[in-house]
Structure 1
Amino acid sequence: MNEGIKTVIYPVRDLAKAKALFTELLGVEPVMDQAYYVGYRVGGQDVGLDPNGHSKGMTGPVGYWHVHDIRGSVKALIDAGAEEQQEVKDVGGGKLTAVVKDVDGNVIGLLQAS
């Protein structure tokens, strides 16, 4: 069903300051550097900075489980009691994401690579 958490996205208010901090923390330059998203790849892990995250309801970092069938995974989680927070959407290049909350309000991100 999944390949584990391979992506963590942080909502940020000041992208330039966050980029400087994470570049220092991670010790690498971003692999994607756009006004709408800055992304890093370190040791097989993707770390993203989303300047629109807070306006989308993100209150902190979200770990994304990489799955093979995102729609099936979302349905299975909802059937098990989760609540959909963000429906499946294409975030570019055929990459699909969705977010649900478990019964305790914990955020679970799902990502299906293209």
Structure 2
Amino acid sequence: MLRGLTTISFFADDVAAAARWYGELLGIEPYFARPIEGTPAYVEFRVGDYQHELGIIDSRFAPHRPDTAGGAVAYWHVDDVEAAFERLLSLGVTAHEKPIERGPGFVTASVVDPFGNVLGVMYNQHYLEVLNR
């Protein structure tokens, strides 16, 4: 039934500001933008080894927006969770969950981005095993 991750969608009141922030974090520009009334209502980045999509959507299109960050956490593989966590902190995020080892070969951490979305990072040995096949 579930065949793979297609798009992670984050919401922001200011999509242009979020696109700049994520562009700085990722070191790339969005490859796609859909403007409405001259400003972007949606931008999309292709990220990582499998070119997964990270979409930033104008908050006015959110089906539900809680008052606090929470819900499901999507984890992006990184080679060094501590370094990634420190880099994120340097870009002005709020710590959501500091790095923690979940078992041999699995370390996670998460932050709340400046736009209220939870961003997870993880070292995952299974990800690397699949990538190396």
Q: Which structure has more strand as a fraction of its residues?
A: 1
Higher RCO structure (Cα 8 Å, ≥6 apart):
1
TM-score, scaled to structure 1: 0.48
